[in-house]
Amino acid sequence: MHRYSQPFIFAMASCLACGSILHAQESGDTTPAISVFQKDQTDIAVDKGLAYLISKQRDDGAIIDKGIDTTMTALSIMAMASVGTQPVDETPEGRTMQKALAFVLKDDRIDDKGYFGNKDGSRMYGHGIITLMLTEMLGMGATSEQDQLIHDRCQKAIDVILSSQKEKKATHYRGGWRYNPNANDSDLSVSVWQLMALRSAKNDGLQVPGSAISDAVEYLKRSYASPLDANGLPDQKASGFCYEPHQNNPTFTMTAAGLLAMQVCGEYESPLVAGAADWLLAHPPKWNERFCSYGTYYYAQGMYQRGGEHAKTAEQLVQEMLLAKQSADGSWLAENGEERNHGAVYCTSMAVLSLSVKYHYLPIYQK
């Protein structure tokens, strides 16, 4: 059984869609009363973003404007799910999601081992993203047959991630992942997607040994910029995460990714989490920097998990930045060249996922 409470999600999503919510009257009358839900600028921006994604769906179900069709479709599905849309919904969003999910589940999207990264050329990056999406959608299929297919695809995809983690690697790379399943090194960017997928799958009750999660957390710790003492405490109060282990050049994107991944794995009280969150307060997202869309997605979710002033500051900054950068057609397109080359479906999905913090629908991002 998936972590979603489907009747609750369906009811709340329906209320948001129709613009009203139910509440109990304070007068003592237990009869529910209708209160108008006023959409704010963020709600409107998200609606426009989703409408753009819907407009980019091909006849075969893929949602794409450039390449890497399976992965971009998976990101689009996650964006829709992040605001409460389900494949069973009789809405444009629900029908788009159902068709997109059917595309990802097609037999030709994977190889015999359950690896998604070959067909669309996305390698382990795409495999982690697609697997995370499927684990989050487990129990949310449009039919029982589709649910079973999601389950089967999930476990095989998870087995690929587990097998890849066990490849022979130097000590400092152990517990992580790189571009290909048989890679003998690791980097934080690829690793975080695999770890998120494993964590989500474990929450689903799929076969994920605890050692896989703990080994990945140890890899994350080796990617922290500040040296750790014998007790695992960092020398610097505020520091960040690096692309590879034992480096001292933390970046916004990697620090945001590390912050979210550590908390998803239950490391809420880790001094590395506290240090990364504080470091991000001093290094907020900038639209023109490398991988801003990617980093902002992790930043928004990771700082929300941290809570308090970190969450409040991040939500305000993310909303101000993204609302100012949305195009008239509802899309976002990155300013930095690396992400701009991936197109508007990618950037729009990331923007919606970043803004969807306020809705708290996807289980993997809930506290």
- Which residue type, as a one-letter code, is found at position 56? K
Residues in the chain: 367
Q: What is the pLDDT of residues 258-281, one digit of tens each?
A: 999 999 999 999 999 999 999 999
**Using 50, 70 and 90 to split pLDDT, how confident is the model at 234?**
very high
Torsional sign, CA 130, 136, 139, 140: negative
Q: Residue 36: pLDDT band by 50, 70, 90 thresholds?
A: low
Question: Predicted confidence band at 360 (pLDDT cuts at 50, 70, 90)?
Answer: confident
Burial class (CB in 10 A: 0-12, 13-18, 19+), 35: exposed
| Cβ-contact 366, 360 below 8 angstroms | yes
Q: Considering all CA atoms of the chain, what is the largest pairwise distance in Å, rounded to the nearest integer?
A: 67
Asked if residue 140 lies in contact with residue 2, where contact means CB atoms within 8 angstroms, the answer is yes
> Does 342 or 7 have the greater pLDDT score?
342
φ, ψ for residue 323, nearest 5 deg: -65, -35
Which amino acid is it at 315? E
Whether residue 21 is predicted with pLDDT greater than 60 in this model: the reply is no
**Is the pLDDT reported for residue 293 higher than 50?**
yes
Q: pTM value?
A: 0.90
Burial class of residue 163 (count of CB atoms within 10 Å of its CB; 0-12, 13-18, 19+): middle
DSSP 280: H
Average pLDDT, the chain: 91
CA distance linking residue 279 with residue 238, whole number of Å: 5
Q: Phi-psi bin for 311: left (phi > 0), alpha (psi -120 to 50), beta? A: alpha
Paired strand residues for 63: 57
Q: Is the pLDDT of residue 11 over 50?
A: no
Task: Look up residue 22 and give its DSSP letter.
Answer: E
Average pLDDT over residues 245-257: 96
CA 98 vs CA 81, 290, 292: distances in Å = 11, 33, 30
Distance from the first to the final alpha carbon of the chain:
19
User: In the structure encoding, which two tokens stand for residue 337, read together?
Assistant: 């060249």
Q: pLDDT tens digits, residue range 79-121?
A: 999 999 999 999 999 999 999 999 999 999 999 999 999 999 9
The pairing of beta strand 20-24 with beta strand 32-36: antiparallel
**Tokens encoding 267:** 């490391």
